[in-house]
A and B are shown apart, each in its own frame.
Chain A
Amino acid sequence: MMTLKVNGREHQVGADPDTPLLYVLRDDLKLNAAKFGCGLGQCGSCAVIVDGKAVLSCITPMVLLEGKQVTTLEGLGSVSEPAPIQRAFIEEQAAQCGYCIPGMMMRAQALLLKNSKPTDAEIRAALEQHLCRCGTHMRILRAVRRAARLMETTDASSTANRSAQ
């Protein structure tokens, strides 16, 4: 048994220490956001935040997480109280199938935590190891820029309908 801190709560987890975090999150803690995409650290779908940095949970064994703070997309906000990054992705309608999006959002959140005003090049560089197959890239970039703006302002305006373009 080891103690795993996820989204501010401590969990006693019985998984072997070599088990990658992804399976503990999905199987033991019943969290959906981190996705299995490749299991090889090649696509980014499984990204979560550990101690403020984005890591790929499919190749992060439990042994590395003793005493660390894991944050998943569920820990940022909810449908009723979305975090700025979630609001930004909803407002930009930045998803098609959406499978890669949670990983993208965690990477973006980690970037914005250390750099509140990233340039476009910095956003692209941060997302470079994340793959999207639907071609939602333009919206993802817009959503990250919007999240940066939202995080700056305290104004929490609602997720109103976007008007037609």
Chain B
Amino acid sequence: MNAPLILNRRRVLAGGGALIVSFSLTNAFAQDQAPAATPPLRRPGSLATTPYLDSWIRIDADGSITVFTGKAELGQGFRTAFQQITAEELDLPFESLEVITADTKLTANEGYTAGSRSMQDSGAAIQNAAAQVRELLVAEAAKRLDLPAENLRTENGAVISPDGRRLSYGELVAADMLHVQAQPKSRLKDPATLKVMGQSVPRVDIPAKVTGGAAYVQDMRLPGMVHARVVRPPSYGAQLTECDSSAVEKLPGVVKVVRDGNFLAVVAEKEFQAIKAMNALSLAAKWKESASLPKQDDLLNVLTHLPSQDFTILERGDPSVLSSKSIEAIYTRPYQLHGSIGPSCAVAQFADETMTVWTHTQGVYPDRQAIAEMLRMPPANVRLIHVEGSGCYGHNGADDAAADAALIARALPGRAVRVQWMREQEHAWEPFGPAMVTKLNASLDSNGKIAAWHFEVFSNTHSMRPGGAGALLAAQHMTQSFAVPEPKPLPLPEGGGDRNAIPIHTLPSARVVHHFIPAMPLRISALRALGAYHNVFSIESFMDELAGLAGADPVEFRLKHLDDVRGREVIEKAAQGFGWKRNVRPADRGHGFAFARYKNLAAYCAVASELEVNRETGRPRLVRAVAAVDAGQVVNPDGLINQIEGAILQSMSWTLYESVTFDDTRITSVDWQTYPILRFDAVPESVEVHIINRPGQPFLGSGETAQGPAAASIANAIANATGKRLRDLPLTRKRIKQAIDA
């Protein structure tokens, strides 16, 4: 590929600007030193851990300006948003900026690009860094012009004096001027005067994507690059007992067969030669398999009977409120796929004792750590560069493909090796979104308000992302293998399986228990929204059941139990946009409503939906959905709308159709026949998103905010249309038909 990409990076590496010395100092700091002790007042976003301004913004003597983020563009469009933020705070033309994303040699360590945190972490860091850089530049100009700083203004990449004298940023910047730690507070632009932020600036990545430009790691072509394919075991834990690869090695174009224990791969000059050789190699490989998987049909019992560590994460009681009637319910969610359309891919090259891996991982630093450990190399000799891939929606095969590429490239020193997984491998080997069970019971007081609330959630960890090598498939399969690290629950307030398990509602008595299950019968990790998807589905379905018990309108019932003003406004906005009316719905259709604040600390979102059910076949059809969202200050309204629209449709697909299938040994959902997802036939007639903008308020992540509410909104609409409550995901046509016929 990817000439432009590489040239850009070379330019950056070669430096040539005034700040190169300080930059590399910062770079060293960012990678190898522990973060500075937390100052009394915490710096905003990722400035807290990477405080030097020149870790974020670099100004060359020629005036070119580069923004660095340790986050990875995954198709959410934040590259554009960061460019907007910087242009705004530094008074620069939007087009003049370049954004460099996650690269262990160039950018700050911002951990994972996950949890809808890019705007909160990196966006906030860049915004404040840009504002502070602007102040430094103005101060420098003031010194040179011998004028008070408040008399100067900035415009179009320069500081301008009242008499019209102009000093460009390039002229002003001096050796280590920006190599200073950020202040906790910045003088940000007045929200009333914003010019670039708050506008729906078109995304900078889309033109290349719609014209065949090199946009993805899948599109990379390095000089002399060869193509590899991995032959994965047929099931978890399978042992390679026999593999005569001599015939495969003689196939046209084959460069090498790589075997290390149960890790088996083949390298060829051309991609289709590699695929043919992979097919031949998998016929030659004999495996010993063992039946280790639980019963797919009985996940409720499987999960609730595995040993668990139990955490009571909320306990509140008000004995003065008396219960009059109560209900209980159990909700389940199966294992579900990330299901990237483009199977995972990576390119690796081992040269001069250095391993370079181009990858669509969500965390270049943690993945570098894991790959270095797997290769038994010092991390400093391993460089990971993020290049966008097909959308991942969490921890999919990206890190594993990167490890595959690195392991194979080490066997072919000097040559760039491109590995892409096959569709069946992505489906069977990606770490799935974990199955979950929730048990609820609640009671109403004599006024129809919730008196007591009990919620239990049973789930695995929701992150088995690399930190150590043991998280990587290749490292698990090699002869000197690494053990899968011990799973840990993710800490609250964000949480994992218990994400959004604590209700946001005002409840006199409430108890919430998280049953953390360490044993993982299936390979699992983070899937967009983590536990919040199922917890919100459960809570918001149950709110409707309680509203029914109280004889109340679902929207009114929610408002009655919510004090949070921003939350109430979001609910009211969605209801109003939808035209919500109590007990009014067309024949054969149902209306559903649901609301949540993601993680109870990120964006607010409410979704109202209208859904039609075919009473003969049970087939549901989502007719329309209307959402309202409050994500704090909005940088790019259209980008936010795109994220919410996408979250609703993706959640619709999870909710109505999706479950991983398996027998006692193998995963059996291995392609789009066996793991069906949303198609155009079922796409709603309309999806409307209403934004409540909060200028001056902190950015709130939004990418994972609508999945839970959309799921519950759909479930509630089905219940409204059919009179039947479905509590087991997915809410398939067959289950709806069974419920109707029962």
Instruction: Give the B-binding residues of A (Cβ under 8 A).
Output: 15, 19-20, 23, 26-28, 30-33, 35-40, 42-43, 45, 72-74, 77-79, 82, 86, 89-90, 93, 95-102, 105, 123-125, 127-139, 141, 159, 161-165
B683 within 8 A of A: yes
* A40 surroundings in chain B (CB, below 8 A): 423, 671-672
Residues of B within 8 A of A43 (CB): 341, 423, 672
Q: Is the Cβ of A93 less than 8 Å from the Cβ of B642?
A: yes
B221 at interface, CB cutoff 8 A: yes
| A39, A90, A137: the one within 8 Å of B423 (CB) | A39
Distance between Cα atoms of A27 and B648 in the complex (Å)? 37
Least CB separation from B639: chain A residue: A93
CA of A105 to CA of B211, assembled, Å? 10
Are B393 and A133 within 8 A (Cβ)?
A: yes
Question: Knowing A131-B341, A137-B678 touch, does A79 contact B202 (C-beta < 8 A)?
Answer: no
Q: List 22 A-B contacts (CB under 8 A).
A: A23-B272, A26-B271, A27-B270, A32-B219, A35-B390, A38-B423, A43-B341, A79-B207, A90-B206, A95-B203, A100-B341, A102-B210, A105-B210, A123-B680, A128-B679, A131-B677, A133-B341, A133-B393, A133-B650, A136-B642, A138-B683, A165-B638
Instruction: Enumerate B194-213 residues with CB–CB distance to A below 8 Å.
Output: 198-203, 205-213
Q: Decide yes or no whether B45 CB sits under 8 A from chain A.
A: no
Q: Which of B205, B216, B271, B647 contacts A135 (CB 8 A)?
A: B647
Please give the distance in Å from B253's CB to the nearest CB on chain A: 10
Q: Which 3 A-B pairs have the closest CB atoms?
A: A97-B75, A135-B649, A97-B391
- Is there contact, CB below 8 Å, between B642 and A45? no
Tell me, yes or no, whether B308 is within 8 Å of chain A by CB: no
Chain B residues whose CB sits within 8 angstroms of the CB of A135 once the complex forms: 645-650, 652-653, 678
Given the interface contacts A138-B649, A138-B687, does A33 sit within 8 Å of B212 by beta carbon?
A: yes
Of the residues A20, A99, A127, contact of B390 by C-beta under 8 Å: A99
Assembled-state Cα–Cα distance A95/B79 (Å): 14
Chain A residues whose C-beta falls within 8 Å of the C-beta of B639 in the assembled complex:
93
Known: A79-B208, A97-B74. A32 touches B422 (CB 8 A): no
Q: Is the CB of A133 within 8 A of B680?
A: no
**Interface class of chain B by DSSP:** loop
By the criterion CB–CB under 8 Å, are B672 and A38 in contact? Answer: yes
Residues of A contacting B75 in the complex (Cβ-Cβ under 8 angstroms): 95-98, 134
Given A36-B218, A37-B341, A134-B75, CB of A95 within 8 Å of CB of B209: yes
Contact with A along B46-60 (1 / 0, CB 8 A): 000000000000000
Complex: A162 Cα to B642 Cα, angstroms: 13
A132 to B207, CA, bound (A): 18
Cα distance, A15 to B209, chains bound together (Å): 27
A139 and B200 CA atoms in complex are apart in Å by 15
CA distance A128 to B680 in the complex (A): 5
In the complex, besides A96-B391, A99-B342, A164-B199, 5 extra interface pairs with C-beta distance below 8 angstroms are: A32-B214, A74-B212, A90-B210, A96-B76, A137-B678
State whether the Cβ of B340 lies closer than 8 Å to any Cβ in chain A: yes
* CB 8 Å contact bits of B395-436 with A (1 = contact, 0 = none): 000000000000000000000000010110000000000000
Q: How far is the CA of A105 from the CA of B637 in the complex (A)?
A: 25
- Interface-central residue, A82, A102, A133, by most chain B CB under 10 Å: A133
Residue of B nearest to A132 (CB): B341
Whether A39 lies near B649 (C-beta < 8 A) is no
- Contact at A89–B206, with CB atoms within 8 Å? yes
In contact, A131 and B679 (Cβ under 8 angstroms): yes
Contacts of A132 in B (CB 8 A): 341, 678
Please measure, in the bound complex, the distance between the C-alpha atom of A31 and the C-alpha atom of B213, giving whole angstroms.
8
What A residues does B420 contact at CB under 8 A?
36
Instruction: Point out the residues of chain B lying under 8 angstroms from A136, CB to CB.
Output: 642, 645-646, 649
B355 within 8 A of partner (CB): no
Q: Which residues of A are found within 8 Å of B270, using beta-carbon distances?
A: 15, 23, 27-28
Whether B210 lies near A95 (C-beta < 8 A) is: yes
Contact yes or no, B677 A134, CB < 8 A: no
Chain B contacts for A35, CB-based, 8 A: 218, 341-342, 390
User: Does B641 reach chain A (CB closer than 8 Å)?
Assistant: yes
**Interface assignment of B686: CB less than 8 Å from any CB of chain A:** yes
Name the one of B1, B205, B637, B650 contacting A164, with C-beta atoms under 8 angstroms. Answer: B637
Note all chain B residues with C-beta closer than 8 A to A32: 1, 212-216, 219
Provide the bound-state CA to CA distance between A96 and B647, in Å. Answer: 11
**Considering the chains assembled together, what is the distance between the CA atoms of A67 and B210 in angstroms?**
27
**A96-B76, A133-B393 known; A138 and B686 CB under 8 Å?**
yes
Q: In the complex the two chains form, what is the Cα distance from A77 to B212 in whole Å?
A: 9
Q: Which residues of A contact B200 (CB under 8 A)?
A: 93, 161-165
- Asked if A89 and B210 make an inter-chain contact with CB atoms under 8 angstroms apart, the answer reads yes
B241 at the interface (CB under 8 A from A): no
- Tell me whether A93 and B210 are in contact in the complex, defined as CB-CB below 8 angstroms, given that A127-B680, A163-B200 are known contacts: no
Report the bound CA distance from A95 to B204 in whole Å: 11
B44 smallest CB distance to A (angstroms): 25
B511 to A: closest C-beta gap in Å: 35
* A125 to B639 CA separation, bound complex (whole angstroms): 28
| Chain B residues closer than 8 Å to A39, beta-carbon distance | 275, 422-423
Q: Which of A86, A95, A125, A161 has the most CB of B within 10 A?
A: A95
The answer to whether B647 and A42 touch across the interface, beta carbons within 8 angstroms, is no
How many whole Å from A48's CB to the nearest CB in chain B?
Answer: 11
Q: Give CA–CA (A36, B272) in the complex, Å.
A: 11
Closest-by-CB residue of B relative to A103 is B341
B681 CB within 8 Å of chain A: yes
Interface string of B257-280 (1 = CB under 8 A from A): 000000000000011100100000
Asked whether A42 and B673 contact (CB < 8 A) given A36-B342, A162-B638, the answer is yes
Chain A residues with CB under 8 Å of B645's CB are 135-136, 138-139
Q: How far is the CB of B674 from chain A (nearest CB, A)?
A: 10
B681 touches A137 (CB 8 A): no
Q: Does B115 contact A (CB under 8 A)?
A: no
Shortest distance in angstroms between A112's beta carbon and chain B's nearest beta carbon?
A: 15
Chain A residues, Cβ within 8 Å of B208: 79
User: Which residues does chain A contribute within 8 Å of B653, judged by CB atoms?
Assistant: 135
> Which residues of chain B have C-beta atoms less than 8 A from A45's C-beta?
341-342
A residues less than 8 Å from B684 (CB atoms): 138
Shortest Cβ gap from B402 to chain A (Å): 18
Q: How far is the CA of A104 from the CA of B388 in the complex (A)?
A: 20
Q: Are B221 and A98 in contact (CB under 8 A)?
A: no
Closest chain-B Cβ to A159's Cβ sits at a distance in Å of 7
Write out the residue numbers on chain B whose beta carbons fall within 8 Å of the beta carbon of A127: 680
Q: Is B77 an interface residue (CB 8 A)?
A: yes
In residues 126-182 of chain B, which contact A (Cβ within 8 Å)?
none
Q: Which residue of B is nearest A88, CB measured?
A: B210
